[in-house]
């Protein structure tokens, strides 16, 4: 093997090592922050001190657009909309029939519905906070509309389907 080729290989490996090691302190600071947050809490002086060191290291590395994990940046955060309210009458027939079934079952009236990335959600205002075992048994019958989850919150029932 040629000595020049061997030398070039060693130089390339050392450059790669140097490139990787320049992020080592940043990585260690992130780990230290997670440990401090678990031990002392997110708003502790220890975590705030590590955040300052992280900012310095990020500046040194040229990382400008990353947020420090766990910091409150309320003015810059974007609202994530997972579901939007829809008119029940604009939903497909199967969804309308499901909502009508649940409304009769819980002796209530449909309040609103949502359509989003996780499916449909019906919100029904029930006439009572108590539901008998017969009502719950109807939900598990084969003829009942399929649903993913039901949440009973006082007189309001939310059903994800």
Q: Do 88 and 148 lie in a common domain?
A: yes
Examine the pLDDT at 143 and tell me if it is beyond 60: yes
d(CA 94, CA 58): 53
Write the DSSP assignment of 47-58 as a string of letters: HHHHHHHHHHHH
Write the DSSP assignment of 86-122 as a string of letters: E-GGGS-HHHHHHHHHHHHHTTEEEEEEEEETTEEEE
pLDDT tens track for 10-39:
777 766 655 666 777 877 888 888 888 888
How far from each other are the two terminal CA atoms of the chain, in whole angstroms? 68
The reported pTM is 0.47
Q: Do 106 and 70 lie in a common domain?
A: no
Q: Please identify, among 56, 76, 96, the residue that sits at the C-terminal boundary of a domain.
A: 76
pLDDT tens track for 89-124:
988 899 999 999 889 888 889 999 998 877 899 999
CA proximity to 53, closest of 86, 92, 27: 27
In this prediction, residues 146-160 reach a mean pLDDT of 86
What does the pLDDT read at residue 99? 92
Which token pair is 156?
Answer: 């309001």
Q: Do 66 and 90 lie in a common domain?
A: no
Alpha-carbon torsion, ordered 27, 33, 35, 37, to 10 deg: -160
Q: How many domains are there within the chain?
A: 2
**Other CB atoms within 10 A of residue 110 CB:** 15
Structural domain range at position 91: 83-160
Q: Do 150 and 88 lie in a common domain?
A: yes
Q: Please identify, among 76, 103, 128, the residue that sits at the C-terminal boundary of a domain.
A: 76
Q: Do 61 and 109 lie in a common domain?
A: no
Q: Do 91 and 68 lie in a common domain?
A: no
């Amino acid at each position: 093997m040629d000595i020049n080729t061997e030398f070039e290989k060693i130089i390339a490996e050392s450059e790669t090592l140097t490139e990787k090691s320049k992020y080592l302190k940043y990585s260690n600071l992130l780990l230290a922050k997670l440990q401090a947050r678990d031990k002392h809490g997110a708003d502790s002086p220890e975590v705030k001190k590590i955040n300052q060191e992280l900012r310095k290291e990020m500046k040194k590395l040229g990382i400008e657009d990353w947020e420090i994990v766990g910091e409150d940046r309320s003015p810059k955060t974007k609202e994530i909309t997972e579901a939007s309210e829809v008119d029940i009458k604009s939903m497909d027939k199967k969804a309308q029939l499901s909502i009508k079934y649940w409304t009769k079952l819980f002796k209530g009236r449909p309040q609103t519905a949502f359509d989003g990335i996780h499916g449909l959600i019906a919100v029904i205002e029930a006439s009572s906070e108590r539901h008998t075992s017969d009502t719950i048994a109807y939900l598990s019958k084969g003829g009942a509309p399929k649903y993913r989850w039901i949440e009973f919150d006082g007189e309001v029932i939310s059903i994800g389907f």
